[in-house]
Amino acid sequence: MSNTSKTALVTGATRGIGFETVRQLAQAGVHTLLAGRDRAKAVEAALKLQAEGLPVEAIVLDVTDAASIVAAADEVAKKFGRLDILVNNAGIMRDEMGKKVSEQTQQAWRDTFDTNVFGLIETTQAFLPLLHKSPSARIVNVSSLLGSLAQHSDPSSPIYDFKVPAYNVSKSAVNAWTVQLAYELKDSKIKVNTIHPGYVKTDMNAGGGEIDVPDGARTSVAMALIDDAGPNGSYRYLDNVIPW
């Protein structure tokens, strides 16, 4: 199946890694839907990429709003009849830096899980029927190295002392969901994987990352474009497999 015949949707795509993921998928020839909560911002972002000659269009999708998710799935069904790639990129961090693990508020936990976990699952469930209509569909769940229990348990790990609990645990949950869904889909034409984008300079970390946004999108794009011999149920950063 050629890239030019594929349709992709990227959530949380009006800026940062999501926006760059849309750009790189479109540069590969994929007709890509740039999804955002705010219609005006989504349209503005899509127009920037259209001005580069890329096959991009905006779509409204708020992963914390069930009606918005259903409406987006209905729109894709009517326009395209199927979906070939779903990149679950939307995510937030609500932890208060400097507070201990046990001191983070319940609201921070709930807000984080509503977007990073429940929103991701509900979005995937809504688009799964359309993904099943594709001859070779891919789901990419954007996680983080901070979701690795193995790394958090290892005193020699670079993230051992970086405990941002609500965010970290939400990404561990994304990883666990990926494993469960990969099992369900193991005999289908859909492959689902979770990725670490790298420590990227984004608004979420106030530009404090180590790599630029274009490099941060590379793993999502690579996993979105894997062939039928590619992995299912893996956790990766570029060519490296990350321990759960």
pLDDT recorded at residue 105: 97
CB 91 within 8 A of CB 200: no
Burial class, 35, CB count within 10 angstroms (exposed 0-12 / middle 13-18 / buried 19+): buried
Q: Which long-range contacts (CB under 8 A, 24 or more apart) does 99-105 make?
A: 101/163, 101/165, 104/165, 104/166
Q: Average pLDDT in the 223-231 region?
A: 97
- The fold of the 3-241 domain, in CATH, is Rossmann fold (3.40.50)
Number of C-beta neighbours around residue 114 at 10 A:
16
* Residue, of 201 and 75, whose pLDDT is higher: 75
Instruction: Kindly indicate the confidence band of residue 208, based on its pLDDT and cuts at 50, 70 and 90.
Output: low
pLDDT at 66 over 90: yes
Give the tens place of pLDDT for each residue, 119-147. Answer: 999 999 999 999 999 999 999 999 999 99
- The side-by-side arrangement of strands in the sheet containing 240-241 is 56-60, 31-36, 7-10, 85-88, 137-142, 190-195, 235-237, 240-241
Q: Average pLDDT in the 199-213 region?
A: 66
CB 222 within 8 A of CB 167: no
pLDDT recorded at residue 200: 77
Q: Average pLDDT in the 201-211 region?
A: 60
Query: How is residue 153 written in tokens?
Result: 């348990």
pLDDT recorded at residue 233: 98
Give the tens place of pLDDT for each residue, 172-194. Answer: 999 999 999 999 999 999 999 99
pLDDT at 211 over 80: no
Of 160, 167, 183, 237, which is the active-site residue? 167
Is 167 a catalytic site residue? Answer: yes
- Residue 116 corresponds to which amino acid? N
